Amino acid sequence: MREGQPVYTVTQVNGYIKNLLDRDGLLSGVFVRGEISNYKSYPSGHHYFSMKDEGGALRCVMFRREASRLRFRPENGMKVIAFGRVAVFPRDGQYQLYCSDLMPDGVGDLHVAFEQLKEKLFREGLFDPAHKKNIPRYPGRIALVTSSAGAAVRDMLRILGARYPLAKVLLLPVRVQGEEAAGEIASAIRYASAHALADLLITGRGGGSMEDLWCFNDERVARAIYDCTIPVISAVGHEPDVTIADFVADLRAATPSNAAELAVPDQNEIYANLAYYEDKLMGTMEVRLDRARRELERLEKNRVLQDPINYILDRRALLEDRRRRLVHGLGGVMAGERERFARLAAALDAMSPLKVLGRGYALAQTADGKVATSVEDVEPGGKLSVRLSDGVLDCRVDDKRRLL
The pLDDT value given to residue 148: 92
* pLDDT, position 86: 86
In whole angstroms, what is the distance from residue 189 CA to residue 255 CA? 19
**Residue 391: per-residue pLDDT:** 83
Predicted confidence at residue 220, as pLDDT, reads 94
Handedness of CA 303, 305, 311, 312 (dihedral sign): negative
Mark the ranges of the chain whose per-residue pLDDT is less than 70: 1-4, 7-9, 12, 21-23, 25, 106-109, 304-305, 350, 352-360, 404
- The pLDDT of residue 108 is 59
Contact 364, 338 (CB under 8 A): no
DSSP string computed for 42-76: -TTS-EEEEEEETTEEEEEEE-HHHHTT-SS---T
Q: What is the pTM of this model?
A: 0.54
Rounded distance, CA 58 to CA 22, Å? 17
CATH architecture of 128-265: 3-Layer(aba) Sandwich (3.40)
Q: What is the pLDDT of residues 273-324, one digit of tens each?
A: 999 999 999 999 999 999 999 988 887 777 766 777 777 878 888 898 888 8
Architecture of domain 10-106: Beta Barrel (2.40)
**SS3 label, residue 29:** coil
Distance of CA 316 to the CA centre of its chain: 65
Whole-number pLDDT of residue 357: 61
Tell me the domain boundaries of the chain: 10-106, 128-265, 356-396
**Which pLDDT score, from 0 to 100, does residue 247 have?**
94
